[in-house]
């Protein structure tokens, strides 16, 4: 179960966390988390609020550097000092709040922080035409057509705004896609779009990390399930280990969570050493 | 992408060309200020025809230029969601420093100007450093540096000179070339047009280009309108803030230098001290949003023109100049309301 069958040769995972810790003052937001995110697999992160899910996303996206342990990108230790570096390394994120600036135009939002430029020195300027065209094409790929890229993002409907965040992540994510499931309520169409983007990324061979509160969706698309509790890994399961109902119970609450973790560990003894 | 069919949605029904153009025009931050400028010009033009002569125009532009330089710089800072109340006092303290270096230390004018520019930049850096690292509101931080700088420059100048006034700077070596750069004038009819106009124009053009066509501009808009998103996307918010505070301080230095070169002297009682708020008023008149994320350099310049036309108009109409503040307040209120209405109608904002 450690190696997926569709992998031709065993090579290094896209992303790997080795005993990685993050502290906020004296509080450990993440404590010695070790997990691999293999290419072409969807790893779902499940856990209660405050279990370290957001911190994990922050570290992988470069928003917050880790304090201890290692973050390996294709086997190379990296330490992102800013989200710009993470994005340059091919790790793109769909943020929980979508990270869309409402007053900026759509194409400016699409390329914000990674704008294409031409010219050199003091005359280095935005390549506006290229940015506009790329935006329209990328948005069409996620099903938003008849788009005026000069319109402010605030004129987009909620669904299209989410599409913008997804299209952007798909454009910049060459190696890994991090999805922190949006907190805003999603329609079935929007859910479908999000999950299709995730599955498409897997097909393209990206390592995908999906943080979600919805165990059904997690089970629908997930290959592996990382359970976080109090900043530590409470379990790392595969599809073979659980069904949707199990995940549902795991999500339900603290006591049940712990009891189930124990129960699962008892059933699958190899989980104990994770 | 896979070949699976995605749920499609249209962003918004494509509007007709006419409506799009109207929408674009309405979305310009400078529109309310332009309309107000037109109205005020017509009203005062009828009241006081002298306003529309070259002499009147020169007076208006002279007032507008200095205000505009500060207004544009403060406007950029407002767009990035920050305040700077210390521009006005930098505009007094930096020429004071220049003059003291020339008169009491015997320096040439250019080294003195460079040192005072460095000092102004240091003030900007301190402002930015405090804002970025403490997370305190920039309104309060720059209020504090304003007070400190005001006290230090006044007390320091009094202690050194005994009178708080430094004159005779125009005898310094290199003064001629400084006049060429900061003090040239052009006489047209009965109007004397000053080189500060060109500085103002240059500042406005460069700021506009930077705002709309560079990564820095994007960073400015995003820092003010959506700081969390900007940080999540790796926009260098702190560096942008730093640069902007440096720019407002430099603008203060430029304003002060233009005044120093014009008069050849500088004093602590200089009226520039009162204009700290005026720069913000000018930027807001021009449609810069106090909460950040929206505005333009051209808007701020139009705001400066509006300010200048109103002031000169009141003087030339023979009204009591005290009425000017009241009119300015009314204009500000109208500008705020107009910006609010336009923004709400468009669900906000700009052309690309």
Q: For residues B272 and B255, is the Cβ–Cβ distance under 8 A?
A: yes
**Other beta carbons less than 10 A from residue B53's beta carbon:** 15
ipTM score of complex: 0.84
Q: For residues B142 and B86, is the Cβ–Cβ distance under 8 A?
A: yes
Task: Let me know if residue A1 belongs to a domain.
Answer: no
Look at residues B331, B271, B301 and name the one whose alpha carbon lies nearest to residue B65: B301
Task: Let me know if residue A21 belongs to a domain.
Answer: yes
Whole-number pLDDT of residue A3: 40
A141, A144, A148, A152: CA torsion to nearest 10: -110
**Other beta carbons less than 10 A from residue B41's beta carbon:** 18
- pLDDT per residue of chain B (352 residues) written in tens, 0 to 9: 334 444 454 444 445 566 666 666 666 788 888 999 999 999 999 988 988 899 999 999 999 999 999 999 999 999 999 999 999 899 999 999 999 999 888 899 999 999 999 999 999 999 999 999 998 999 999 999 999 998 898 898 888 888 878 888 888 888 999 999 998 889 888 888 999 999 999 999 999 999 999 999 999 999 998 999 999 999 999 999 999 999 999 999 999 999 999 988 888 765 554 567 889 999 999 988 888 888 999 999 999 999 999 999 999 999 998 899 899 999 889 888 887 776 666 554 443 3
Q: For residues A49 and A183, is the Cβ–Cβ distance under 8 A?
A: no
Helix (H, G, I), strand (E, B), or coil: what is residue B7?
coil
- Please enumerate in sequence order all residues whose Cβ is within 8 A of that of B187, keeping only pairs 6 or more positions apart, or say none: B193
Report the residue from B6, B214, B348 with minimal CB separation from A154: B348
| CA R_g for chain B | 22
Task: Let me know if residue A6 belongs to a domain.
Answer: no
Whole-number pLDDT of residue A111: 96
What pLDDT, in 10s, does the model give residues A113-124? 999 999 988 889
Average pLDDT over residues A170-199: 86
The upper half-sphere exposure of residue B235, i.e. CA atoms within 13 Å in the direction of its Cβ, equals: 34
Report the residue from A97, A147, A193 with minimal CB separation from B7: A193
Task: Let me know if residue A151 belongs to a domain.
Answer: yes
Cβ contacts of A114 on chain B, cutoff 8 Å: 233-234
Look at residues A119, A109, A202 and name the one whose alpha carbon lies nearest to residue A149: A109
Whole-number pLDDT of residue A249: 74
Q: Are A132 and B234 within 8 A, CB to CB?
A: no
Range(s) of the domain holding residue A252: 15-273
Domains of chain B: 31-345 (1.10.3470)
Rounded-to-integer distance, Cα A263 and Cα A145, Å: 49
Residue A27 Cα distances to A33, A55, A62, angstroms: 15, 12, 20
Q: For residues A177 and A94, is the Cβ–Cβ distance under 8 A?
A: yes
The upper half-sphere exposure of residue B31, i.e. CA atoms within 13 Å in the direction of its Cβ, equals: 18
Task: Let me know if residue A161 belongs to a domain.
Answer: yes
CB proximity A266 to B under 8 Å: no
Whole-number pLDDT of residue A146: 86
DSSP element (H, E) containing A32: strand A27-37
Task: Let me know if residue A8 belongs to a domain.
Answer: no
DSSP code of residue B214: S
Q: How far is B136 from chain A (nearest CA, A)?
A: 20
Report the residue from A102, A106, A125 with minimal CB separation from B213: A125
Structurally, chain A folds into a number of domains equal to: 1
Residue of B4, B5, B7 best to disrupt the A interface, most CBs of A under 10 A = B7
Q: How far is A141 from chain B (nearest CA, A)?
A: 7
Residue of A104, A108, A140, A159 best to disrupt the B interface, most CBs of B under 10 A = A104
Q: At what angle do helices B31-47 and B323-345 cross, to 10 degrees?
A: 150
N-term to C-term CA, chain A: 14
- Residue A124 CA, chain-centre distance (Å), reads 32
Look at residues A212, A264, A215, A263 and name the one whose alpha carbon lies nearest to residue A236: A264
**By a Cβ cutoff of 8 Å, what residues of chain B touch chain A?**
1-2, 4, 6-14, 20, 27, 209, 213-215, 218, 221-222, 225-226, 228-236, 293-294, 346-352
Q: For residues B297 and B72, is the Cβ–Cβ distance under 8 A?
A: yes
Whole-number pLDDT of residue A152: 87
User: A2: burial class by Cβ within 10 Å (0-12, 13-18, 19+)?
Assistant: exposed
CATH number at residue A96: 3.40.50.300
Task: Let me know if residue A85 belongs to a domain.
Answer: yes
Helix (H, G, I), strand (E, B), or coil: what is residue A222?
coil
What pLDDT, in 10s, does the model give residues A21-36? 999 888 889 999 999 9
Which pTM does this prediction carry? 0.87
């Amino acid at each position: 179960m450690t190696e997926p069958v569709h992998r031709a040769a065993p090579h290094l995972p896209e992303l790997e966390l080795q005993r990685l810790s993050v502290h906020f003052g004296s509080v450990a937001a993440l404590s010695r988390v070790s997990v691999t995110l293999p290419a072409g697999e969807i790893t779902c992160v499940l856990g209660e609020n405050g279990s370290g899910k957001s911190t994990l996303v922050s570290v992988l996206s470069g928003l917050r550097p880790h304090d201890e342990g290692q973050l390996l990108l294709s086997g190379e230790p990296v330490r992102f000092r800013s989200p710009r570096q993470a994005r340059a390394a091919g790790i793109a994120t769909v943020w929980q709040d979508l990270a869309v600036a409402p007053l900026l135009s759509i194409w400016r939002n699409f390329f914000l922080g990674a704008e294409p430029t031409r010219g050199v020195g003091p005359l280095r300027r935005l390549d506006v035409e290229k940015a506009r065209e790329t935006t329209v094409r990328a948005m069409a790929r996620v099903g938003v057509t008849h788009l005026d890229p000069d319109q402010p993002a605030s004129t987009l409907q909620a669904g299209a705004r989410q599409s913008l965040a997804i299209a952007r992540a798909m454009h910049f994510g060459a190696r890994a896609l991090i999805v922190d499931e949006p907190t805003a309520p999603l329609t079935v169409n929007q859910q479908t779009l999000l999950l299709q983007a995730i599955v498409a990324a897997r097909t393209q061979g990206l390592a995908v990390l999906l943080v979600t509160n919805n165990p059904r969706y997690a089970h629908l698309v997930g290959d592996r399930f990382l359970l976080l509790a109090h900043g530590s890994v409470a379990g790392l399961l595969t599809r073979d280990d659980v069904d949707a109902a199990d995940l549902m119970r795991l999500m339900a609450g603290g006591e049940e969570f712990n009891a189930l973790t124990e129960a699962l560990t008892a059933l699958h003894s190899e989980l104990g050493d994770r | 992408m896979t070949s699976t069919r995605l749920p499609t949605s249209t962003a918004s029904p494509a509007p007709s060309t006419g409506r799009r153009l109207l929408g674009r025009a309405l979305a310009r931050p400078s529109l309310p200020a332009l309309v107000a400028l037109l109205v005020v010009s017509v009203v005062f033009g009828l009241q006081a025809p002298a306003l529309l002569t070259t002499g009147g125009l020169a007076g208006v532009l002279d007032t507008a230029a200095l205000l505009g330089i500060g207004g544009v710089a403060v406007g950029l800072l407002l767009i990035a969601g920050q305040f700077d109340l210390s521009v006005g006092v930098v505009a007094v303290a930096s020429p004071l420093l220049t003059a003291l270096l020339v008169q009491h230390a015997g320096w040439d004018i250019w080294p003195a100007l460079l040192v005072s520019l460095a000092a102004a930049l240091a003030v900007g850096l301190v402002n930015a450093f405090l804002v970025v690292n403490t997370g305190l509101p920039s309104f309060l931080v720059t209020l504090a540096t304003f007070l400190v700088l005001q006290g230090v420059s006044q007390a320091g100048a009094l202690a050194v000179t005994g009178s708080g006034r430094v004159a005779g700077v125009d005898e310094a070596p290199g003064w001629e070339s400084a006049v060429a750069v900061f003090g040239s004038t052009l006489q047209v009819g009965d109007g004397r047009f000053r080189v500060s106009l060109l500085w103002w124009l240059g500042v406005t053009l460069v700021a506009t280009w930077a705002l709309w066509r560079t990564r820095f501009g994007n960073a400015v808009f995003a820092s003010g309108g959506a700081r969390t998103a900007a940080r999540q996307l790796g926009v260098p918010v702190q560096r942008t803030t730093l640069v902007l505070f440096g720019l407002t301080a430099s603008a203060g230095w430029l304003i002060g230098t233009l005044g120093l070169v014009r008069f050849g002297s500088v004093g602590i009682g200089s009226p520039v001290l009162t204009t700290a708020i005026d720069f913000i008023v000018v930027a807001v008149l021009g449609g810069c949003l106090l909460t950040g994320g929206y505005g333009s350099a051209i808007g701020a310049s139009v705001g400066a023109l509006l300010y200048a036309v109103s002031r000169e108009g009141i003087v030339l109409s023979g009204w009591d100049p005290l009425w000017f503040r009241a009119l300015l307040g009314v204009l500000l209120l109208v500008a705020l309301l107009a910006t609010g209405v336009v923004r709400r109608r468009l669900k906000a904002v700009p052309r690309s």
